[in-house]
Amino acid sequence: MYRKEFIKTVSLLTIGTISGSLLNGCAVIKYAQYSIDGNKLVIKKSEFSDMQKFVLLNVSNLPAAIYLRRNENDAFTALLTQCTHKGCEVDPDYDMLSCPCHGSKYSSAGEVISPPATEPLKKFDVLTDSENIYIII
Ligand code: FES
């Protein structure tokens, strides 16, 4: 009886550890809801879960999505995900953004890490209050 319980406990711990590692390795890309107030996109801070480092926003009059990243101290960065090389849409890739067309890489602040792009991603001004994030477009 003791041996069976031991094997069951070890098996459950192993499965829990493996599935936890797999889930941590898979970044879930979330498209956030927003409203428009004049020249501002308004996003509720509650769109970010505790583990969520970034969200994407699909804005109809922009050529690519906006990458909105939560930094330390409740600061946010908003970048247009349009590659400055030839205009492809870049993809979030862990802590950077990568272009699927010719391989440019950008930091999460939009700076070029690797060419062929030479210019940073377009950055939007961001304001916050206790409940919302405001992206000036
Ligand atoms: S369009 Fe992105 S690297 Fe060329």
Domain boundaries of the chain, sorted by first residue? 27-136
Is the full-model pTM beyond 0.85? no
To test the ligand 1 pocket, which listed residue (96, 101, 106) has its Cβ within 8 A of the most ligand atoms? 101
Confidence grade of residue 7 (pLDDT, cut at 50, 70, 90): very low
Q: Residue 57 pairs with which residues in a beta bridge?
A: 66
Topology of domain 27-136, CATH: Rieske Iron-sulfur Protein (2.102.10)
Distance 22 CA to ligand 1 centre (A): 30
Nearest-5° angle of CA 91, CA 92, CA 93? 105
Residue-wise pLDDT tens digits, 55-110? 999 999 999 999 999 998 889 999 999 999 999 999 998 889 999 999 999 999 99
- How far is 35 from 43, CA to CA, in rounded Å? 7
